[in-house]
Amino acid sequence: MARRIVLGYGGVLVGVAITALGVSFFLIPAKIAAGGVSGLATVIYHLTGFPAGVIMLLLNLPLFILSWRVLGSIFGARTLFGTVALSLFVDLFNRWAAPITEDLLLAAIYGGVLSGIGLGIAFRSGGSTGGTDMAAQLLARFFPTSVGQALLLVDGAVIVLAGAVFGLELAMYALIAVFISTKAIDLVQEGQSYAKACLIISDHPEPIGQAIMEQLERGVTSLEGQGMYTRHGKDVLLVIVSRMEIAAIKRIVASLDPKAFVIIHDVHEVLGEGFRRLPEAAERP
């Protein structure tokens, strides 16, 4: 238990440090306010000169307290830890931060990548940096909107404000940074596609399933299905394989039932026998 807690907080710390690198060395110097509390802090920093990390903390703490009182313990200790740590890292890095590039596109790309990777690591470690997540939850609580719509509204408002202060062109770069950051978060959270899921609909499921198990040594699950037109029952075979085994799957199916219907799609994470081990149950953050 103690080891999991240490690893969890350590992961959040590493994540927010990487996020702060992207914010301090790329986004803030380029005046790219890529949504969220960090984006709002970027606008205020350039207008007032007040330290961006302190601004982020001043914006986040009231949101955290209000969210805790209204929504309960949905945002836990790791979120508070991540929120404070990110603010400290941003101001720490800002002491040495200088524009690494004058190219706004490069700043948007690298700032988005670093901040997204960092946030993804923090999320995977059970933490968060609060900010717009808390604001979106509060808006969804008091107004007829979903959390996703509220999040889009909050981030959009920050980018519109940035456009009014810094100009439309910088707002457009901010949108690029937001898009890249979101994709980087998904990549860290879900992982790169390394496996394939195959659904095989055939009139000869038994020999196909046996051939896959014997030749590829992969487990096969038989699901009950029914053709909507014929109303005939059919077995649907589900098998998870590596990318290198896709050609073998196609060869096996084609040799036993050329008329089979095969669906192949990406799988980002597989836990269990033959793939990654299931993680131990984590404690609440």
If asked whether residues 119 and 248 sit together in one domain, one would say no
Where is the domain boundary, 141, 174, 190? 190
Q: Give CA torsion, residues 269, 272, 275, 279, to 10 deg.
A: 70
Of the ranges 3-12, 139-148, 205-214, the best mean pLDDT one: 205-214
Check: CB of residue 216 under 8 Å from CB of residue 245: yes
The pLDDT assigned to 99 comes to 74
Considering the domain boundaries, does residue 11 fall inside one?
yes
Domain interval for residue 160: 2-190
Better-predicted residue by pLDDT, 175 or 67: 175
pLDDT digits (tens, 9 = 90+) for 79-98: 788 889 999 999 999 888 77
- Of 81, 65, 74, 77, which is closest to residue 16 (Cα–Cα)? 81
Considering the domain boundaries, does residue 273 fall inside one?
no
If asked whether residues 60 and 153 sit together in one domain, one would say yes
**Predicted confidence band at 194 (pLDDT cuts at 50, 70, 90)?**
low
CA distance linking residue 82 with residue 15, whole number of Å: 9
Considering the domain boundaries, does residue 243 fall inside one?
yes
Considering the domain boundaries, does residue 276 fall inside one?
no
If asked whether residues 129 and 220 sit together in one domain, one would say no
CATH number at residue 250: 3.30.70.120
If asked whether residues 134 and 249 sit together in one domain, one would say no
If asked whether residues 102 and 130 sit together in one domain, one would say yes
If asked whether residues 144 and 242 sit together in one domain, one would say no
If asked whether residues 43 and 106 sit together in one domain, one would say yes
Q: What is the count of structural domains for the chain?
A: 2
Count, residues in the chain: 285
The pLDDT assigned to 26 comes to 93
Phi, psi for residue 282 in degrees, rounded to 5: -90, 150
Considering the domain boundaries, does residue 274 fall inside one?
no
Check: CB of residue 231 under 8 Å from CB of residue 237: no
pLDDT digits (tens, 9 = 90+) for 169-192: 999 999 999 889 888 887 887 666
